[in-house]
Structure 1
Amino acid sequence: MTATKTTSNTTLDAAPSTPAQASLYQQLRGHLATLKLHAAAEALPGVLESATAEGLTLTAALERLCSIEVSATEARRLAGRLRFASLPTPATLEDFDYDAAPTVDPKLIAELATCRYIESATNVLLIGQPGLGKTHLAVGLARKAAEAGYRTYFTTAADLAARCHRAAIEGRWATTMRFFNGPALLVIDELGYLPLPAEAASALFQVVSQRYLKTSIILTSNRGVGSWGEVLGDTTVAAALLDRLLHRSVVLTLEGDSYRLRDHQARADTLRKTTTGTHQPLR
């Protein structure tokens, strides 16, 4: 009698039906749990059932089980990157209103969404008056970077300056500089919105200088680059800062009406129409 060989193309048996099969099944789940393959251990019964019902080969069933674990691992890692990123809003590039921002080129944003600029350590500067969507775009691009596997961190210029100031006082300057130098993408929001203390220009310069030509920065500002000397209170530092930021950069200038002002006007118009429609003239 010729022995039957088991190959990777053999279909799986039905769910465990004997004590020996049940014991083997439990050992398999135990191995998966020991290896911290918790998603695979949880999915094992369903995969075995579907494999039997669909007549899957052993190879196909293992691939399905592994893909479940891989998907769960990627989801956990993404959740961790997004927690670290500290994004202030759930904004995405997909819900950006390009009709309300005619100076923003959708093709350019789509190119930035590929994150290729991070590979070349290119910076992105978003400049324009408040309410035009600079922070929305910055958050959306940061989210794309996190989804692509890049370590990303979001902060405001004021918070960065305050953190560096505390670090200098507490003797943690080098540690703080390493922290801001670590992420592949650092987003610095709202430069120019609030007055910065005298040491802020030096702190910002140090962060930009350490990341120069190595990692990317997205920076938003309501002030044109010609006003940064006034913003930072030091024209020399501002010139050196801009020299590094602009050396390899994409600059987007946003123009138009504020989102918030448009929303306010739309609500006011709706209220006015409603009031006009329901108002009864005095007799």
Structure 2
Amino acid sequence: MSSANHSLTETASDAAIDTACRVLRLPTIRGQFTDIVRHAEREQLSYRGFLAELLMAECEDRDRRRSERRIHAAAFPRQKWLSDFDYQANPSISPAVVSQLATCEWVRRGEPLCLIGDSGTGKSHLLIGLGTAAAMAGYRVRYALAAKLVNELVEAADEKQLTRTIARYGRVDLLCIDELGYLELDRRGAELLFQVLSEREEKNSVAIASNEGFSGWTKTFTDPRLCAAIVDRLTFNGSIIETGTQSYRLAHTAARQQKNASSQPR
């Protein structure tokens, strides 16, 4: 009889814990409670130790979910991690420099970053990887292709929503602009982009990836004075990484094709 009462008490306790976790919105404790109880019994944890295990599990899972939400909100086109970057394929990029940037101190200080190099040299990988690192560190991040960003600004201006749109891009801690320099921008588009950069100047960070060196930006921003002002905004107190001219994507593809060809029976 006492055994049945004990079992009933445990069942009632489990039900009460489940209800309390729902009310208090503690999904991790609710989901992991049974496993943590078993672990506590096996390790003979004290009440304090058991409570610490529960609360730490909830905190760690909340941090993970917040990071996932920030990465999702950044709207990256694909996943890229700094840990996957192949420094051997592109020896011109310093792992120490990237490691320093991964601390996100430059984002905290609101400094810009420019990644300059030809296609296939790892610019977008580093841009997305550093943006992801910033999101995981708690910063609000937004990714945009340069042409799409300009188109959005032009549409917002036409719909009398420009101030709101610029303010939205101004609020994020890090704005990542990819493929700057691929297309020529008309004066209006360039001026609108300049407004976004001015809104963020010395307050919030901008990171750009461009296939053109600064001297070639006059092909994108055809007004020389506006071009100089934009370069100034993107380089003042900032970091510049030159990723080079040798496409490691092209080299990787060629090496794979050569390997496949040599493995074919003759």
**TM-score bucket (shorter structure):** over 0.9
Query: Which structure's residues are more often helix, by fraction?
Result: 2
Is the 8 Å Cα contact of residues 101 and 256 (structure 1) preserved in structure 2? no
Cα distance in 1, alignment partners of residues 36 and 99 from structure 2: 38
TM-score for the superposition, normalised by structure 2: 0.92
CA distance in 2, matches of 1:99, 1:19: 63
Out of 91, 94, 103, the position equivalent to 1:105 is: 94
- Cα deviation per residue 1:34-53 (whole Å; 9 max; x = unaligned)? 01111112222222233233
Task: Provide the rounded CA distance (Å) in 2 between the counterparts of 1:265 and 1:239.
Answer: 39
Structure showing greater Rg: 1
Counterpart of 2:204?
215
Q: What residue in structure 2 maps to residue 12 of structure 1? A: none
Work out whether residues 113 and 238 of structure 2, in 8 Å CA contact, stay in contact via their aligned partners in 1: yes
Pick one of 76, 79, 82 that aligns with 1:90: 79
Unmatched segments (≥5 aa) in structure 1: 1-15, 279-283
- Where in structure 1 do 4 or more consecutive aligned residues deviate above 3 Å? 18-22
State how 1:182-201 maps to structure 2 within 5 Å: 182-201=171-190
Report the secondary structure of 2:73's partner residue: helix
Q: Which is worse superposed, 250-259 or 178-187?
A: 250-259
Identity value in percent: 32
Q: Helix, strand or coil for the counterpart of 1:114?
A: coil
Aligned to 1:255: 244
Are the counterparts in 2 of residues 181 and 207 from structure 1 also a CA contact under 8 Å? Answer: yes
Contact 2:90 2:248 in 1 (8 A): no
Q: Deviations over 1:226-250 (max 9, x none)?
A: 2222211211111111122211100
Q: Pick closer, same or farther for the CA change 1:17–1:53 going to 2, 3 Å.
A: farther
- CA distance in 1 between counterparts of 2:26 and 2:88 reads 46
| SS state at 2:208 partner | strand
Asked if 2 retains the 8 angstrom alpha-carbon contact of 1:196 and 1:231, the reply is yes
- Aligned residue among 208, 230, 233 for 2:222: 233
What count of residue pairs does the alignment treat as equivalent?
262
Asked which structure has the greater RCO (Cα within 8 Å, sep 6+), the reply is 2
The residue identity in structure 2 corresponding to 1:132 is T
CA distance in 2, matches of 1:25, 1:273: 63
Task: Report the Cα distance in structure 1 between the residues aligned to 2:64 and 2:263, rounded to whole angstroms.
Answer: 46
1:164 paired residue number: 153
Structure 1 segment 102-141 matched on structure 2, within 5 A: 102-141=91-130
